[in-house]
Amino acid sequence: MPETVFDVDVDAPPEEQPSPIVNRWHPDVPPAATIEPGEKCRIECLDWTGNQVVNDDSANDIRDMRLDPNHHLSGPFRVEGAEPGDLLVVDILDLGPFPDNEWGFTGIFELDNGGGFLTDHFPNARKAIWDFDGVYTHSRHVPDVRFAGLSHPGILGTAPSHDLLEEWNEREQALIERGPEAETAVNHETREDQPPLALPPEPNEVLLGDMADDEVEEAAEKAARTIPPRENAGNCDIKNLSRGSRVYLPVFVEGANFITGDLHFSQGDGEITFCGAIEMAGFVDLKVDLIKNGMEKLDTDHAIFKPGNVEPQFSEYVVFEGYSVDEDGTQHYKNSTVGMRRACLDAIDYLKQFGYTGEQAYIILSTVPVESRIAGIVDLPNTCVTVSVPKEVFEFDIDPDELNGHSSDDRGEAANPS
């Protein structure tokens, strides 16, 4: 087993972990450990909420979630010899849940506390607990679904430089100031209570590893949230970054200061419920290396990904199509977000015919390895987005031919607030 360079305790609060948790991007967070290029290491991770969700049948914890301290991540790790301009090469050797903690969760957040991609349609908190049997998972809250997960870290990335951090903050603040009408892709109608367009630095509940208290106060004003993906990869949520994957990350600071976490047992493309994958605590085994001056050699200032070749096999799909016309009939111009939403809503309506509630179907799309693609983006005025649901994850046949005269079974419901 590789040497463990970061320990967590799933029974302790984030502030009392054996290794100090980090929940923001900032160049000056002191490294939690140093890794040598070519060396393997094991990194333990809390689930992204930092133990806020419990294995029970109530969605109160999702409803009442404190969002400011998320994500709870492991690192930063200083890579010996890494300098700005290099590329950090990260091999994902293995990952999984802890052997004595083989479960995960999926949540639908409340509209006014986090929301999600389809929050207009599903505004209330729900939860599903998933149990793991080796590579397989199933949920008492989503019966008759059982599948092999496609496990991956939702977040991995290098620390930004001070200049890059400033650039992030400026461009995201500019979007916030332009306001909702600047975006056609947010929701089909502009609501008073619409979720924010971006999340500016939030000094509340900041954890910056071992940084001295007097420094944290100043850094917290600028430290970037970990919610969006950016140049450093970050919260990319690429479901295929599983065992055997290799990621090339630009190095912006001395030592690279690599951070990872937000482990997913499985996820569908889009991670649409937002607490969207099967979220878990666990370990990830990595090997790192450096390409000196790699940003110039590969002519990139972004991350590059090479997914591995160990994935569950699905051969048959039912495919749903969405295009740039929203639910009230408004025609949008080449809007892929609207297309994705329509394809997801169609898939949810379809699965409801087999006895699932809308919330259960929403959770299924978010967790099973659903393939979503932009099928066409040149056919004015619509983009065509497809959402492909693997048939093999269901313990019954979801083929359209089976719907002919189908009488729906009762498949229970996801956990409600109690």
- Kindly list the residues in this chain that would bind Zn ion in the complex (CB under 5 A): 48, 154, 262, 277
Residue 106 vs 169, nearer CB to Zn ion: 106
Q: Which amino acid is at 220?
A: A
Q: Give the residue closest to Zn ion by C-beta.
A: 154
Shortest gap between Cβ of 397 and Zn ion (angstroms)?
31
> For residues 341 and 330, what is the distance between their CA atoms, to the nearest angstrom?
14
Shortest gap between Cβ of 240 and Zn ion (angstroms)?
15
Shortest gap between Cβ of 114 and Zn ion (angstroms)?
12
Report the DSSP beta bridge partners of residue 351. Answer: none
Shortest gap between Cβ of 2 and Zn ion (angstroms)?
23
Phi/psi at 22 (5° precision): -125, 140
Shortest gap between Cβ of 97 and Zn ion (angstroms)?
14
Residue 324 vs 366, nearer CB to Zn ion: 366
- Is 128 within 8 Å of 141 (Cβ atoms)? yes
Burial tier of 141 (Cβ tally within 10 Å: 0-12, 13-18, 19+): buried
Residue 354 vs 362, nearer CB to Zn ion: 362
Closest CA to 242 of 272, 226, 264, 227: 264
Shortest gap between Cβ of 414 and Zn ion (angstroms)?
18
Shortest gap between Cβ of 417 and Zn ion (angstroms)?
21
Residue 154 vs 157, nearer CB to Zn ion: 154
Residue 266 vs 360, nearer CB to Zn ion: 266
> For residues 137 and 305, what is the distance between their CA atoms, to the nearest angstrom?
26
> For residues 4 and 2, what is the distance between their CA atoms, to the nearest angstrom?
6
Residue 187 vs 367, nearer CB to Zn ion: 367
Residue 280 vs 398, nearer CB to Zn ion: 280
